[in-house]
Structures are given as structure tokens and as C-alpha cells.
Structure 1
Amino acid sequence: MTTDESALARELRADGIDVADVRLSPERVAVAYTTTLPAERPAHGEMGRVCNTVIDLVEAGDLEPRRVDATSLRFEDDVQATWHVEAAWLDDLTNYRISEEEFSARVLETVETDPDADVDSDAPHASAVANDEPGRPAGDGGSR
């Protein structure tokens, strides 16, 4: 079974994430969510729930390991931070080559709280990925 955008959005919502948008491509998962804690830095608990949802789907065979680009929003157009997970980290974790602690440390090192800073165009954040995919079908992909 393969997870689609609406199924991923439902899984994230079931895990307490206020999904603003979800996009899937063969290489990436892009998630934008509204935080419940609009501080300077993203809430680690919310980051963990997003990661755990993806990890559970990978472990169940419903999603191939792929890069996850996440954008935490304070409000609709107010980016709190961006962060990501590399596909190799998901593969390493689910195959017991790294610990949960190592995985978490790697993810936390990717947090960027200055989303206006120059970013590598080969590593778009979730909001950029979500906005550059034409012809997306209507559904429960999380777009409001």
C-alpha cells in the first residue's frame, strides 16, 4: 500500500499536527503545519510527532524513505522555522543503523529559524515544494 497526500494529512492530524499543506513526490514529502506554540523556535514535540508519523508509515511499508521538508507556521503566512529529515536517516533508523537519539540530533541540527536567509535551491523548504507543483488534485491534502 502506498500513502497519498490525503492519507498522510489524516495521519498527521490524528497525531495532533495542524496540517496546513502536504505534498508528496517520488523524492520528497513536504509538510507545512501551524504550530500550537508560536515561539522563536519550533516545538520539539511537534517535530517529533511529524517524524514519528513518517517513521511509522515507512516501517509499515506504506511510504518509501524520502526527504521530509517541514515548515512550521505561526500563522498562515508567518513562518516560524523550517527543518528537514534526509531519506538516508529514515532508512538508517528503520534498519537499526542509528539510534533514535542520533536521528533526533540530526533533525534538530537542520532547524532554520531565519527562513528569509538564502537557501540552497536544490533543498527547498516545504512551502517552496508545496507551491511549485502544478496540477495538484483537490482533496484532503491539507491546503486551506
Structure 2
Amino acid sequence: MTTDESALARELRADGIDVADVRLSPERVAVAYTTTLPAERPAHGEMGRVCNTVIDLVEDGDLEPLRVDATSLRFENDVQATWHVEAEWLDELTGYRISEEEFSARVLDTVETDPEVDRDADAPHAIVVADDEPGRPAGDGGSQ
């Protein structure tokens, strides 16, 4: 894996995602982004751009298939929704064992519009509770 948090944040921004925070561990990627469409449900186009960025990095060998936990923010500290991608879905998609339609359907099935979130006093936004990821101090994490 050659991608770090700053590089992932840059790639997401290059794909039009307003990144609030990125955290990368050996088990998962956590992304918080501010939506351009603050409706009740997250914009599918933004979800797709986050997924495509990760898929491209996996296909290029710059990122291992990892679970992706995403938090869509309406604005700072106002969570619109959470959603996720399982590592095995990325592996199946990039290995041509599932279609893009199947992958998308699985991701859309994970959307939670009333999620439980942990408000980290050191972070300027809410991050999804990751039960296997220990708390860590605020750092660059891709923040602007």
C-alpha cells in the first residue's frame, strides 16, 4: 500500500469530494466529507466518486482492498448519513467476480440516515464509530 491519508485526501478532492477528514489504518479507511446536496439522503453521485477513487487506487495497486466507512456531512457536526464498503466487495469488483451494478446495490444498502456517531473533541466534525479502531489524536488526516 503506497497511499497515505494526505494522498487519499488529495485524490478524493481531485474527484470533486469536499473532504473533511480521512483516516487510514491497516483495516479500514474512514472518510468524512461535506455534501454539496444537503438533503435527507446522501447524493449517489458523491458516493460513487468516493467509491471510484478507492477502486482506482486498489486497481492501481496503491491501496489494498479495505473496508471504507464514509460519513456525509451537511455541514460541520451535522451528519447527513453514513455508508460503507466491505473490503471483500472491492476485491470481488476488481477481480471481476461481481458487476458494478451489484457493487453499487450493496453500497446503497448500507446507507444509514440516522447513524450513531462519535463526536471527537479533537476533530471539527463527526466520525462514524469504528468499534475496532482505537481513538487517535487529531492530525492532518487530509484536513484542509
Q: TM-score range by the shorter chain?
A: 0.7 to 0.9
Q: Is contact 1:93–1:100 with CA below 8 Å preserved after alignment?
A: yes
Q: How does 1:19-38 map to 2 (within 5 A)?
A: 19-38=19-38
**Structure 2 unmatched ranges of 5 or more:** 118-125
Q: State the alpha-carbon separation in 2 of the partners of residues 126 and 51 from structure 1.
A: 18
Name the structure 2 match of 1:128. Answer: 129
Q: State the alpha-carbon separation in 2 of the partners of residues 95 and 56 from structure 1.
A: 13
Q: Is contact 2:116–2:129 with CA below 8 Å preserved after alignment?
A: no
Name the structure 2 match of 1:64. Answer: 64
Of structures 1 and 2, the one with the larger relative CO (CA 8 A, separation 6+) is 1
Name the structure 1 match of 2:120. Answer: none
In structure 1, what residue type is equivalent to 2:95?
A: N
Q: How does 1:48-127 map to 2 (within 5 A)?
A: 48-116=48-116, 126-127=127-128
Name the structure 2 match of 1:122. Answer: none
Q: State the alpha-carbon separation in 2 of the partners of residues 104 and 113 from structure 1.
A: 17
Q: State the alpha-carbon separation in 1 of the partners of residues 9 and 114 from structure 2.
A: 26
Spell out, residue by residue over 1:6-40, the C-alpha distance to the aligned partner (whole angstroms, 9 max, x if none): 00000000000000000000000000000000000
Q: State the alpha-carbon separation in 2 of the partners of residues 78 and 50 from structure 1.
A: 19
TM norm structure 2: 0.86
Greater percentage in helix? 1
TM norm structure 1: 0.86
Q: State the alpha-carbon separation in 2 of the partners of residues 115 and 75 from structure 1.
A: 16
SS of residue in 2 equivalent to 1:79: strand
Spell out, residue by residue over 1:29-69, the C-alpha distance to the aligned partner (whole angstroms, 9 max, x if none): 00000000000000000000000000000000000001000
How many residues align? The count is 134
Q: Is contact 1:66–1:86 with CA below 8 Å preserved after alignment?
A: yes
